[in-house]
């Protein structure tokens, strides 16, 4: 029994990912459950933000207001995301009839997509600075809320979707889930310090809440890929685009972070994305086909996180063995 618990604890993320894929296919292939699908969709829509709120709340309980301050690497990462997104937008404006138009749009949402709201959970687990990542998450959401409405209508026009409307849409989608847990954590810290101390003891639960949220997100990703109307070859191309963007952003983030002795935080800030937002952005501002790139990015960045956690666990086990000797 202990070995089973140890296995589940060590391989939480891959198990959550496989559970999401398997759970989706098992559910949709049970005929008598078909009438429950509208209710399940609504339940998932409700559960995802609740889980994200709880994860962020527990993570923010560990962070003081004094810890939230800009770092030099924040500026470099903002320039990377904003610059690459603007560059691809400019290329699409110059070559409107290019055959790879949708692939470029897929790359755009993978590059500008803000840091995952649950990024602090993995950053803490890997030994990084969660406060630095939380600060960057707020900054990149502000940049995304301004830049996407400015660039996307030029690249992919939508009648009636002006800058103000798109700006309000993005703020309404992201900021309630980002600010409300933060405000709640600050209020608990200063108004109810005893409860705050109790919550600090259970901060590790946020990782397992994230595993449940990940299983749901992968199930949603699987659904978006399965129901996509594009060919397998085009989906494969979108998958490769997402993989390239994922690998490149983790690499650049870590390289920049290394210069400022904050490799883990910077790597996670640039590489780990809010892919639910990316999928929504694809559907809202581009096309359902473009949204598939966000779905594939979800798979890739969670594989990277699983590998990083595996390596971190091996290092910790090696250190424990050395200390025992």
206-258 pLDDT tens trace: 777 777 877 887 787 777 777 766 677 878 888 899 999 999 999 999 999 99
Residue 10 scores a pLDDT above 70: no
Mean pLDDT computed over every residue of the chain? 81
* 265-274 pLDDT, tens digit each: 999 999 998 8
Q: Cα(93)–Cα(91) distance, rounded to whole angstroms?
A: 5
Q: Cα(194)–Cα(172) distance, rounded to whole angstroms?
A: 33
* 182-213 pLDDT, tens digit each: 788 888 888 888 888 888 777 667 777 777 87
- DSSP state for residue 63 in the 8-state scheme: -
In whole angstroms, what separates CA 139 from the centre of its chain?
15
Residue 37's contacts (CB-CB under 8 Å, 6 or more residues apart) are: none
Structural contact between residues 81 and 111, judged by C-beta atoms closer than 8 angstroms: yes
Confidence category of residue 46, pLDDT binned at 50, 70, 90: confident
pLDDT at 8: 59
């Amino acid at each position: 029994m202990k070995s089973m618990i140890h296995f589940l604890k060590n391989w939480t993320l891959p198990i959550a990912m496989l559970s999401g894929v398997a759970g989706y296919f098992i559910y949709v292939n049970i005929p008598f459950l078909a009438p429950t699908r509208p209710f399940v969709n609504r339940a998932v829509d409700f559960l995802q933000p609740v889980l994200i709120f709880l994860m962020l709340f527990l993570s923010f309980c560990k962070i003081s207001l004094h810890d939230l301050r800009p770092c030099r690497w924040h500026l470099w990462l903002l320039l990377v995301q904003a610059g690459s997104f603007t560059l691809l937008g400019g290329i699409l404006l110059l070559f409107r009839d290019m055959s790879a138009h949708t692939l470029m749009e897929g790359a755009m949402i993978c590059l500008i997509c803000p840091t995952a709201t649950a990024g602090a959970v993995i950053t803490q687990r890997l030994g990084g600075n969660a406060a630095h990542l939380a600060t960057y998450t707020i900054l990149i959401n502000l940049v995304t809320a301004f830049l996407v409405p400015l660039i996307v209508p030029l690249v992919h026009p939508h009648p009636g979707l002006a800058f103000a409307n798109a700006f309000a849409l993005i703020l309404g989608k992201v900021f309630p889930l980002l600010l409300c847990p933060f405000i709640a954590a600050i209020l608990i810290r200063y108004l109810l310090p005893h409860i705050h101390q109790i919550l600090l003891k259970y901060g590790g639960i946020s990782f397992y809440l994230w595993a449940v949220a990940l299983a749901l997100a992968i199930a949603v990703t699987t659904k978006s890929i399965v129901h996509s109307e594009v060919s397998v070859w085009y989906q494969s191309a979108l998958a490769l685009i997402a993989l390239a963007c994922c690998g490149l952003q983790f690499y650049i983030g870590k390289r920049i972070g290394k210069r400022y002795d904050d490799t883990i935080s910077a790597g996670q800030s640039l590489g780990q994305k809010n892919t639910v937002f990316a999928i929504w952005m694809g559907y809202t501002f581009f096309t359902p086909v473009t949204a598939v790139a966000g779905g594939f990015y979800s798979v890739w960045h969670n594989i990277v996180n699983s590998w990083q956690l595996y390596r971190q666990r091996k290092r910790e086990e090696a250190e424990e063995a050395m200390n025992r000797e």
